[in-house]
Amino acid sequence: MGRSDERCCIRTGAGRRESYTEAPSVYQGVIAVEARPPGRARRPRADAARNRERLLEAAKRVFGRDDGAHSSLEAVAREAGVGIGTLYRHFPTRESLFEAVYRREVEQLVELAGQLAGGPDPVAALRRWLRANVEFVATKKGMAAALAIVMQGTTDLSAYTAERLTAAVGGLIDRAVAAGALRGDVGPEDLLRLLVSLCYGSSAPGWQHNVLRLLDVFVDGMRRDRA
């Protein structure tokens, strides 16, 4: 088999030389924003809120484990330290739990896209956002499954989130296209699909490195100044 070494110093498209370990991680400044449906009149009981929180955290941990997407809900409840009934009260379906888990994560990625939009080099911004995504998935392994679910767009709710995500990365792309830096026939859905596909199921050691390289090559392929 190949290329296991990971010396990690590779040459991205235009000759830039980057060490992936040293690269500044971008997503850390992102603040977790928990969107809560505003319509609910009754303020939730303190313990209910706490349990909900615990469940989300536990779900992230459990789903984040290898092949975690198939973990039992009991395992999540156990990890959260609550009864299975409580889990069901908060998240009546497995999907609803997944959604709640990824929603906050996706929120952070949307946020990040907004922050990056202000920079001078639109292509670099796109690359950074992609890099942040990969790091994100690396940190919180469950993200891959979450993103995959979002992009398959099964539910109304996930459709909403997918939309937000698409809009965010679409903004980054559009700026670069407008600046003449990228060709215009690759849409945000394309990029997201690619991203999700590459991250999802990658588990071999060094996968981050490889995925980042592939993404860089891809962005190279998107560059206008070539061909």
Q: Taking Cα atoms as reference points, which of 195, 188, 178 lies closest to residue 122? A: 178
Tell me how far CA of residue 197 lies from CA of 119, 142, 191, in angstroms: 27, 14, 10
Is there binding between residue 153 and its own copies (CB under 8 A)? yes
Residue placing its CB nearer to its own copies in the complex, 117 or 186: 186
Q: Is 2 in the site for its own copies (CB under 8 A)?
A: yes
Per rule CB under 8 A, is residue 162 in the interface with its own copies?
Answer: yes
The verdict on 176 binding DNA (CB under 7 A) reads no
Binder to its own copies among 70, 85, 118, 205 (CB under 8 A)? 70
**47 contacts DNA (rule: CB under 7 A):** yes
* Binding site partner of 89, from DNA, its own copies, none, Cβ cut-off 5-8 A by kind: DNA
Interface with DNA, residue 4, by CB under 7 A: yes
As a whole number of angstroms, the distance between CA 187 and CA 161 comes to 17
Residues 196-215 that bind its own copies (CB under 8 A): 197-198, 200-204, 210, 213-214
90 contact, one of its own copies, DNA, none, CB 5-8 Å limit per kind: DNA
Cβ distance to its own copies smaller for residue 35 or 156: 156
Q: Which of residues 94-113 bind DNA (CB under 7 A)?
A: 94
CB of residue 32 to its own copies, shortest distance in Å = 26
Task: Determine if 221 is a binding residue for its own copies (CB under 8 A).
Answer: yes
- Minimum CB separation of residue 35 from its own copies in Å reads 25
3-state secondary structure the chain: CCCCCCCCEEECCCCCEEECCCCCCCHHHCCCCCCCCCCCCCCCCHHHHHHHHHHHHHHHHHHHCCCHHHCCHHHHHHHHCCCHHHHHHHCCCHHHHHHHHHHHHHHHHHHHHHHHCCCCCHHHHHHHHHHHHHHHHHHCCHHHHHHHHHHHCCCHHHHHHHHHHHHHHHHHHHHHHHCCCECCCCCHHHHHHHHHHHHCCCCCCCHHHHHHHHHHHHHHHHECCCC
Is residue 50 at the binding interface for DNA, with CB under 7 A as the rule?
yes
Residues of the shown chain interacting with its own copies in the complex, contacts defined by CB under 8 A: 1-3, 10-11, 13-15, 70, 78, 81, 148, 152-153, 159, 162-163, 166, 183, 185-190, 193-194, 197-198, 200-204, 210, 213-214, 216-223, 225-227
